[in-house]
Structure 1
Amino acid sequence: MSSSTEYPPDAPAPAATPAEVRRVAVASLVGTSIEWYDFFIYGLAAVIVFRGQFFPGASPLAGTLAALGTFAVGFLARPIGGVVFGHLGDRIGRKRTLVTTLVSMGVATALIGVLPNFAQIGVAAPILLVLLRVVQGLAVGGEWGGAVLISVEHAPENRRGLYGSFPQLGVPIGLITSNLVFLVLAATLSDEQFTSWGWRIPFLVSAALVAVGLYVRLKVTESPEFVAAAAAAKAAPSMRLPIITVARDHWPQVLCGIGIFAGITTMGYMAATFAIQYGTATLGLPNTFMISAVLVAALLEIPLSLYFSSLSDRIGRHRMILFGAVSTGLVAIVFLPLLATAVPVVVFIAVVLGRTGAAPMYGPSAAVAAEAFPVEVRYSGASIGYQLGSVLGGALAPIIATLLLASAAGVWGVSVYLTFMVVLAGIGTVVAGRLQARTAAVPAA
């Protein structure tokens, strides 16, 4: 490992000042919000316009699955990004790695905004689209772990739930800004203008946002815990590849993270992405209505996440996440039946419940993931658990739900599937709590 600041090998991690803690939390929030804006505008474009732009010859079902498939590719790349950037984050530091992920995401997103469609360059168009989506996935795969860790590692132990939730808020904020941009464009452009060139505007806006994010992110200090750990590192063989140490010594914690985040992201993406596609293509509801429902849900998610994250610092983070698993499980049972009514008010309620039901899980889960691993492998371990869970949840959930609805299982088959995924989160939470208690009970050598 290396760092620009050195401390004696036996020195404790220097405490960050309250001002530094707040500055780092805000910087993490800004950076992750931009990253998730980029990630979500792709999801919106995939369910609204990509079928016609990049898969014009496919049947409606095949075209929808192809567009959702390119969306899922980003998730499949995220674990690889978690490994690559997790290694860099554990070796060269959280700050420099986060700058790299932000630039990578911004460049890929802007290039999608100028990408020719199928009518212009043929099959090369969807191929290039997939490649750029892979870069987006790699960047997000590295972003989450670093943003969470640099916030958690600056924060005092009794406030890690709250400050760890700031990077998590990047998801609803990214969801809000991406949906708001599409909503404004849909209201000001004709359908022909939007599908022809208007959909490119949100991607091009990313270039300006990334410049702002870089300005903020370059001003933060490196994580004190990382600096101290870097100074104490003896370059043991196991530390040359942190992911090897994680796989050998901390795989139970990784499995718990996978379960927790699979449950969280399943409901989150069903409400944020699948609901728009299902509501517009199957139920015949207007794009503006469905996007507005997601927008309101994301707005409510922010204060709820902050409240439950702060509460978790007082009553216990694992206990709060378990409570969230129960609340989300109840929502999972009724989400699709409510959505399938096609009654606008009921659909609106379903989308809001789908996003906000998991708020007790979502905020505190960042600190839980960080605290599950030692500092020297924390970036790799937390990232892998989160990203693999996101693949099982966010990437596959819209596709599995689409296939189940087209089968004999129908609406209630989707409900069973969603409930099962949330149960995994509850199991992961219980086991993670026991592992942490067991580790704390072992006396230091």
Structure 2
Amino acid sequence: MSETVAHPHFADAPEARDVGGHALNPSEIAIGVVIGRTSEFFDFFVFAIASVLVFPQRIFPFVTPVTGVLYSFAIFALAFLARPFGTWLFMTIDRLHGKATKLTIALLMLGTSTVVVAFLPTYDQIGPAAIWLLALLRIGQGLAIGGSWDGLASLLAMNAPENQRGWWAMVPQLGAPFGLVVASGLFAFFHGFLPSEQFYEWGWQFPFFVAFAINVVALFARLRIVVTPEYVHQFERRELQATRVRKTLRQYSKYIIVGAFAPLASFAMFHMVTVFPLSWVDLFTDENVTHFLIIEAVGAAIGAVAIVASGILADKYGRRQLLGMTALFIAIFSGFAPSLLAQGAAGEIIYMVFGFILLGVSFGQCSGAVASNFPRNYRYTGSALVSDLAWLFGAGFAPFVALYLSYHLGLVASGLYLLSGAVGTMLALRYNNLLENRG
């Protein structure tokens, strides 16, 4: 085998090799991170799209269509409530049995919780038990996502040179648009080419089947890196081991709170362009849902380009400065953009394109923007808790709140949730600056 030149980002770390003895480099770590994140987001988007198109008819046929979607969004939020508990549970497994065991259990749990939804009986078949089973499976997804934190993104960020941290920070975020492109494309295919009766009878199940297969691929892609002795040594050397959740919360609660609120604008925007618009178009317009799913997939692809651009902009202007600027633009966007969804196909396209551009630039840098506040030996667990709480506060209830406000007060009112996220981000970044100045 030819000699491998060590990547400059890892110049002070021992050369890492996979189980076959082949040299690994940051690009291979990035591939593992992106595959893993894509599988997680694909599972979540499959559930989200089904919450609009499928569950109201199969699980909540006894209420109006709007109420059925609201009930589905309430169940959708359960995963975000469960994530912190999943982090606590699987951090314990990590400390006792290692990352390989933790990831294997978490990803198998995620894939199983997702695929079993496809076999869920309808409300007409088993009554309220269908609702409880759907809620239980959604909680299972949330627990598993909390446990799927592998620290590879942190390893990338900690090894990146000072002038390229924004570039490497955006890499893990690409999993979100990739997952949405695949999920939207699959639903668009089956929703568009199958008669309505066949789609609701069996066509909607196929994206859930695909989810399990993607999770298996993601598991092997991540284990290939995480279980090697060389990378175990790197995690230990970089002090990226799991620490006790209670101790981390007790000692660094201020940093966790700041970290959770700093990306609120990005995470609120996340579901305002990925989940909520689909519900509005399906419930209140005559637009073709299949066409909108295609628009959503194209928008996600544009968002991926914007995420890449965020890496360049962040390294030039600073990650926190970029987050602050995008939060300001998201606040402006919240005041008028939602009303575009009522302006036909042209309005929907404008909303989705500009929404995904803003989302991409912001979301690309929102993860770990204040992670440097944590000492290295607490950064692994601290970053996981920050991610869990940011998703909970910023995105967990966004589809429900946006649909509820728009239904009762009009589309413009849905922007209030988005505005609150933008304000939260700007205040958190300001408070973080004060903490650093005091330090």
TM-score (norm. length: structure 2): 0.88
Matched, 1:132 2:131: no
| Paired position in structure 2 for 1:388 | 389
Give the counterpart letter for 1:27 in structure 2: G
Q: Which residue identity does 1:294 align to in structure 2?
A: E
Letter in 1 for 2:384: S
AA in 1 matched with 2:267: T
Change (3 A) 1:364 1:90: farther
Question: What's the offset of the Cα at 1:190?
Answer: 1.0
- Distance change (3 Å), C-alpha of 1:319 and 1:86: farther
Task: Report which stretch shifted further, 244-253 or 38-47.
Answer: 244-253
Give me the whole-angstrom Cα distance separating, in 2, the residues matched to 1:372 and 1:282.
45
C-alpha contact (below 8 Å) 2:117/2:134 kept by paired residues: yes
3-state secondary structure, aligned to 1:400: helix
5+ residue gaps, structure 2, are 1-10, 17-22
Task: Summarize deviations over 1:237-266 as a string: whole Å, max 9, x none.
Answer: xx8x62233222222221122212322111
State how far apart, in whole Å, the 1-side matches of 2:384 and 2:281 are: 32
Paired residue for 2:13?
Answer: 14
Letter in structure 1 aligned against 2:371: A
Aligned to 2:237: 228
Look up the SS of the partner of 1:220 in the other structure. Answer: helix
Change (3 A) 1:320 1:427: same
Q: CA deviation at 1:209?
A: 1.4
Whether the 8 Å CA contact 2:259–2:371 is kept in 1: the answer is no
Confirm or deny: 8 A CA contact 1:99 1:217 kept in the other structure: no
Q: In structure 2, how many angstroms separate the alpha carbons of the residues matched to 1:197 and 1:70?
A: 22
Residue matched to 2:251 = 249
**CA deviation map 1:21-51 (0-9, x unaligned):** 1111110100110111011100000111101
Letter in 2 for 1:293: I
Q: How does 1:200-211 map to 2 (within 5 A)?
A: 200-211=205-216
1:73 alignment counterpart: 78
CA distance in 1, matches of 2:281, 2:261: 28
Residue 52 (structure 2) aligns with: 47
Alignment of 1:79-158 (within 5 A): 79-88=84-93, 96-144=101-149, 146-158=151-163
> Residue 334 of structure 1 aligns to which amino acid in structure 2?
F
Could you tell me which residue of structure 1 aligns to residue 291 of structure 2?
289
Q: CA 1:303 to 1:79, structure 2 compared with 1: closer, same or farther past 3 Å?
A: same
- Structure 2 matches for 1:326-337, cutoff 5 A? 326-337=328-339
1:65–1:399 Cα contact (<8 Å) kept: yes
Quote the offset at 1:354 in angstroms: 2.1
Superposition deviation, residue 147 in structure 1: 4.5
Contact 2:268 2:421 (8 Å CA) reproduced: yes
Matching residue's letter, 1:288: T
Shift of 1:313: 2.7
Write out aligned runs for 1:150-229 (5 A): 150-221=155-226, 222=231, 226-228=235-237
1:317 to 311, 316, 319: 319
- Paired with 1:177 and 1:354, the residues of 2 have a C-alpha distance of 19
Q: Given the superposition, is the C-alpha separation of residues 212 and 266 from structure 1 closer, same or farther in structure 2, using an over 3 Å criterion? A: same
| Structure 1 residues 31 and 143: CA distance shift in structure 2, 3 A | same
TM-fit CA distance, 1:205: 1.2
Q: Deviations over 1:5-36 (max 9, x none)?
A: xxxxxxx9726679521111110100110111
**Which residue of structure 1 aligns with residue 406 of structure 2?**
405
Distance 2:326 2:232 in 1: 29
CA contact (8 A) 1:87 1:380 kept: no
Go from structure 1 to structure 2 and tell me whether the alpha carbon gap of 1:403 and 1:320 turns closer, same or farther (over 3 Å shift).
same
Question: CA–CA distance in 2 between the matches of 1:225 and 1:245?
Answer: 24
The change in CA–CA distance for 1:154 and 1:106 in structure 2 (over 3 A counts) is: farther
Paired amino acid for 1:220: I
Structure 2 SS opposite 1:382? helix
Q: Helix, strand or coil for the counterpart of 1:125?
A: helix
Q: Structure 1 stretches (4+) deviating beyond 6 angstroms?
A: none
Assess if the C-alpha contact under 8 Å between 2:29 and 2:152 holds in 1: no
**Is the Cα contact below 8 Å between 1:262 and 1:424 reproduced in 2?**
yes
Q: Distance in 2 between matches of 1:423 and 1:280?
A: 30
Compute the TM-score of the two structures, normalised by the length of structure 1: 0.86
Q: Distance in 1 between matches of 2:115 and 2:85?
A: 22
Distance in 1 between residues matched to 2:39 and 2:394, nearest whole Å? 22
Between the aligned residues of both structures, percent identity stands at 28
Query: Which secondary structure does the structure 2 equivalent of 1:406 belong to?
Result: helix
What is the CA-CA distance between 1:144 and the residue it aligns to?
A: 4.9
| 1:308 aligned onto 2:317 | no
1:9 corresponds to: none
1:358 is matched with which residue?
359
User: What is the one-letter code of the residue matched to 1:207?
Assistant: F
Q: 2:42 aligns with which of 21, 25, 37?
A: 37
Distance 2:342 2:15 in 1: 50
Quick one: which amino acid aligns to residue 289 of structure 2?
N
SS of the aligned residue for 1:416 comes to helix
- The residue number in structure 1 matching 2:5 is none
Identify if the C-alpha distance between structure 1 residues 95 and 168 changes in structure 2 by more than 3 Å, giving closer, same or farther.
farther
Q: Counterpart of 2:348? A: 347
Cα deviation for residue 224 of structure 1 reads 5.6
SS at match of 2:275: helix
- Work out the CA distance in 2 between the residues paired with 1:133 and 1:41: 12
1:202 Cα offset (Å): 0.5
CA distance, structure 1, for counterparts of residue 312 and residue 102 of structure 2: 28
Which stretch shows the higher mean deviation, 91-100 or 329-338? 91-100
**Could you tell me whether the CA contact under 8 Å between 2:65 and 2:283 is conserved in 1?**
no
Counterpart residue type for residue 336 of structure 1: P
Tell me if structure 2 keeps the 8 A contact 1:322–1:430: no
Q: Indicate if the aligned counterparts of 2:272 and 2:399 stay in contact, CA closer than 8 A.
A: yes
Deviations 1:138-158 (A, max 9, x none): 122233563532432454444
State the AA in 2 paired with 1:387.
D
Which amino acid in the other structure matches residue 411 of structure 1? L
Correspondence 1:261 to 2:263: yes
| Correspondence for 1:377 | 378
8 Å Cα contact 1:318/1:430 also seen in 2: no
* Aligned counterparts of 1:316 and 1:88: Cα–Cα separation in 2: 36
